[in-house]
Amino acid sequence: MYRIVRREAIRPAVTLLEIEAPLIAKKAEPGQFIILRVDADGERIPLTINNYDREKGTVTIIFQVVGATTEKLNHVMEGEYIQDFVGPLGIATHTEGRKKVAVVGGGVGCAIAYPVAKKFHDMGAEVHSVIGFKSKDFVILEDDFAAASSVLKVCTDDGSYGEPGLVTAALKTLIDEGNEYDEVFAIGPMMMMKFVSLTTKPYGIKTVVSMSPIMIDGTGMCGGCRISVGGETKFACVDGPDFDGHQVDWDLAVQRSQMYQDYERHAYEDACN
């Protein structure tokens, strides 16, 4: 069992949990994820690690309530326990040797984009961050991104804060202004990552996306997380989660991510009742 040492509601339906997990904290790196179960009957869900404290032996995750399991997780309070917390899983994001990068985050995906931006920054790269949200009420980690970035653009869909519009438009402006990026790293909703990849492709800028398809075992055995990259089948849990965004078969990835939508909606409604 894993104890919640800190719980913070950071935005409506967006919660931070700091969890006692010393063995994971010892090895975790930006870009890796954990799989958790809230209770013994719970489903397994992957969540990317937001932060870790090797000395305290804790791992931080930030999640948005989007379904039955995140609804249940949102009711676990400080001092209480969750059943399973397994990791770190996946390959850490490659941050070595980059001189100038753009990090693009969408919504709660910014919780994962931030540690990657910080790692690039700590490794000596010039970091430009572009982070997008539905509206002002959903903006998270702005100060953290500002500390790790020499340029920060905050975008909102409804224009209630920062630049109005999508992250892809802000990214394109930065590229057209003459910024030569070694790499663009994107994490957020699948459609956002697809369109970031389409934006950078004509410029030939290497683009890495962090995929989070449906996962079950997290060890490459069940096949649940398979995606097609460059015509080859890959398992996001062991071959990723980072992949070349220009090589991902986005239509297949989107189709697979929507396979259980009806079931998920019913489970969520049951969890709320």
Nearer to ligand FES, 63 or 138 (CB): 63
Per-residue contact track with ligand FES, 36 to 55, x per CB under 6 A? --------------------
Stretch that binds ligand FES, among 49-57, 77-85, 195-203, 212-220 (CB under 6 A): 212-220
Q: Which of 202, 198, 183, 190 is nearest to 98 (CA)?
A: 183
Token pair belonging to 257: 């991510």
Residue 165 sits in the site that holds ligand FES (CB under 6 A): no
Give yes or no for a contact between 32 and 90, defined as CB atoms under 8 angstroms apart: yes
Residue of the chain from 14, 215, 229, 248 that contacts ligand FES (CB under 6 A): 215
DSSP structure class, residue 216: S
- Would you call 155 helix, strand, or coil by DSSP? strand
Q: What are the C-alpha distances in Å from 197 to residues 12, 41, 158, 227?
A: 29, 38, 23, 16
Stretch that binds ligand FES, among 20-28, 49-57, 108-116, 218-226 (CB under 6 A): 218-226
Distance CA 92, CA 236 (A): 12
Nearer to ligand FES, 33 or 120 (CB): 33
Distance CA 101, CA 180 (A): 8
Nearer to ligand FES, 87 or 162 (CB): 87
Residue of the chain from 78, 223, 252, 266 that contacts ligand FES (CB under 6 A): 223
Residue 220 sits in the site that holds ligand FES (CB under 6 A): yes
Residues 6+ apart with CB under 8 A from 179: 100, 102, 128
Q: H or E segment at 116?
A: helix 110-122
Nearer to ligand FES, 35 or 148 (CB): 35
CB of 225 to ligand FES, least distance (A): 3
Distance CA 157, CA 96 (A): 33
Residue 175 sits in the site that holds ligand FES (CB under 6 A): no
Distance CA 187, CA 92 (A): 14
Residue 217 sits in the site that holds ligand FES (CB under 6 A): yes
Nearer to ligand FES, 105 or 240 (CB): 240
Distance CA 165, CA 158 (A): 7
Stretch that binds ligand FES, among 50-58, 69-77, 167-175, 213-221 (CB under 6 A): 213-221
Handedness of CA 88, 63, 190, 218 (dihedral sign): positive
Residue 140 sits in the site that holds ligand FES (CB under 6 A): no
- Give the number of residues in contact with ligand FES, rule: CB under 6 A: 12
Backbone φ, ψ for residue 61 (5° rounding): -125, 150
Residue of the chain from 146, 221, 252, 259 that contacts ligand FES (CB under 6 A): 221
Residue 218 sits in the site that holds ligand FES (CB under 6 A): yes
CA 76 to chain centroid, in Å, comes to: 21
Nearer to ligand FES, 146 or 221 (CB): 221
Nearer to ligand FES, 124 or 223 (CB): 223
Which stretches of the chain bind ligand FES, using CB under 6 A? 215-218, 220-225, 235, 237
